[in-house]
Chains A and B, each alone.
Chain A
């Protein structure tokens, strides 16, 4: 088993996240993280899915993603030169004694302090998922109050696109909804 990073371009239509999530649940694929966001192209969302799977398993995940009607394109970045980034927010307990120590660690990890309180500070950190894992481990002994991370985003290095440009998508309907004379209940 290894971590595979899949990029799925999907049509930005209601329920598409549910379709992908449902696929992973019913096929018993193990999602490590899943992020969704808009892309440079209107009507297209980009999902970064990290799955724990064998090579054969990853191919089956890919084929199943392709089978979803709203999925435009799938790419496996695992063996490509790619950037992986994740954002984490950590709220950690501090005392006047160890505050300096913690701030030093933040410095080492190139994090940013975004909120300071008498007993806690909030740190913003970006980097590879491994770096954020490590940061969490290092801070644990001080007492982590809250810890949240976005899940990985990925992009191929260099001038090449991560994927060939996804195909054109449907234009959205502009029909306005009128309420007149229509019953909303059965």
Chain B
């Protein structure tokens, strides 16, 4: 069958089972858009910015487990995709991006809207293709889908020249089957490694499972729980592993890492065996590598061999698909109980929970943690996907929204892309139209991609946007508070009237600034047809606790203060971080900074002296 290259693109997408694509037309991709009209089975979502298209494809992929597809034109269209592609790369999300390219004869001439897109995206894609001939399109797209979803998933970009789209070629789907002699999506660990792993598990007194996103990708929640139950192993999850293990499971301790629960990080440091399942020992999870889990032997299960020994040297590496690894290891694991280990963990847990805001009296102020916890409580009987942006609200979501189902939290973990939430949520809604999709987003990140409200409106879909509005770039402000003597450089932030903004897009906008109003607001949001934007005006200078400062040991956490700062006088609170709670790394870092700036090194950090002035300027800045 002779078809144009443009038609071949759509034939291939149809054969790959694609039902929706997210894109934005332009000169070099016009032939493909023209051919699209012949393929009505594939729904095209017109985005407002190509970054949005990639995040939507990403959100679609993470919610459904299928490959998400984004389309853009050459040059600026393609470069706008880079952030979304890098996001998908860091979080191993399978997406295929199709971009137009100038005609093959014009390549290299700085033609209008020409960019070396395969060059630009080389470091942020799993693989990419430049296709200059129509008879190469089908294979490139088939291989792109295969590479994107197999092994460790990731983004693949196919750049197709305009002439390749316009010329015709024989379309033969079977003949275009992937031929990738150098591609190794999966490995199989030798039996001896399994025996060593089983021996470590069977002899461990204080074992701990580190559950990562690999469990979601391989769909092995039940298998991991079975292993944990057999050998009585507590489980902690990474940020992206949230939902892989039900939050309500007694074995699940909660999230680890920089803003993980204190008892979890203490457990990691005290464990004698860490069993890492589909996680990659990111620096946000390990803290200082020199002091990380020094008492523990480590078993690392990952499908990607380059992750082994990358950050943390491990004792046993089981490289392969988690499903296969768990099936092979399970029969070798003996039944065990570790009451003493659980008792140790529970002592730490008891100590931490008195610091938890949920256990503190309500003083009428609206705190982000309250908002998020309330949304969780009010939506427990519904099937909900939460998509978060990046920053304080993301951490509060991870701490106070309890996810029981896999793929119910979608968040940009690795790259930490602000502006991710709204477009990714739109993608997730297309993947799961029957589920509620909530966007939890800061006022900063929301303003980066709020143009996609128009996409939601045009498509007539419903996402529920909860803006956690503190008029600050909150996480950066928190770092400035802790590590830069409260010099709030460029973090105070204004925004539009979000209610009116929603209305300008012909959507519903709601405002909520009091705790007692949260329930009614959430209920109204759920009852309203179409996308709703809720402006939750929360405490301005609120802090995510606990916190492991970057580069500090994992158990050197800044804890929630015992007397809650939130119970004091709101944004005018006169609260100082107790100096004893600060790990010594701050003092060292400050002394270093002072030395670099030519100040004399004093025993007491110069923080105190600088503080009143800094506070004053911050207040002025807050208007």
Measured CB to CB, the residues of A under 8 A from B are 10-11, 14-15, 18-19, 22, 26, 56, 59-60, 63-64, 66-73, 166-170, 173, 175, 177-179, 181-186
Contacts and interface: CB of A to CB of B under 8 A. Distances in A.
A177 B107 CA distance: 15
B127 interface: yes
B583 interface: no
Interface string B7-35: 00000000000000000001110000000
Contacts of B111: 184-186
B162 A69 contact: no
Contacts of A64: 306
25 contacts: A10-B182, A15-B122, A18-B119, A22-B122, A56-B313, A63-B305, A63-B306, A64-B306, A67-B305, A69-B183, A70-B182, A73-B182, A167-B181, A173-B136, A175-B134, A181-B166, A182-B163, A184-B102, A184-B103, A184-B163, A185-B103, A185-B111, A186-B27, A186-B74, A186-B111
A96 B112 CA distance: 60
Nearest to A169: B181
A64 B183 CA distance: 12
Interface of B: 26-28, 73-75, 100, 102-106, 111-114, 118-119, 122-123, 126-127, 130, 132-136, 147, 162-163, 166-167, 169, 179-184, 304-306, 308-310, 313
Given A26-B123, A182-B167, A185-B111, A170 B135 contact: no
Contact of A72 (B100, B136, B182, B309): B182
A26 to B, nearest CB: 5
B156 to A, nearest CB: 9
Given A11-B182, A64-B306, 12 more contacts: A15-B130, A18-B119, A73-B182, A173-B133, A175-B133, A183-B103, A184-B163, A185-B103, A185-B112, A186-B74, A186-B75, A186-B162
Contacts of B183: 69
Contacts of B130: 14-15
A2 B163 CA distance: 49
Given A22-B122, A56-B309, A68-B182, A185 B102 contact: yes
Contacts of B118: 15
Contacts of A68: 182
Given A11-B181, A18-B119, A69-B182, A182 B103 contact: yes
Contacts of A182: 103, 162-163, 166-167
Contacts of B310: 60
Contacts of A60: 306, 309-310
A178 B167 contact: yes
Nearest to A178: B167
A170 B306 contact: no
Nearest to A44: B181
B32 to A, nearest CB: 13
B86 to A, nearest CB: 12
A69 B127 contact: yes
B308 A63 contact: yes
B177 to A, nearest CB: 11
B306 A67 contact: yes
B28 to A, nearest CB: 5
Nearest to A186: B27
A109 B80 CA distance: 57
Task: Kindly name the residue among A11, A18, A173, A177 whose own CB sees the greatest number of chain B CB atoms within 10 A.
Answer: A177
Contacts of B167: 178, 182
Contacts of B181: 11, 72, 166-170
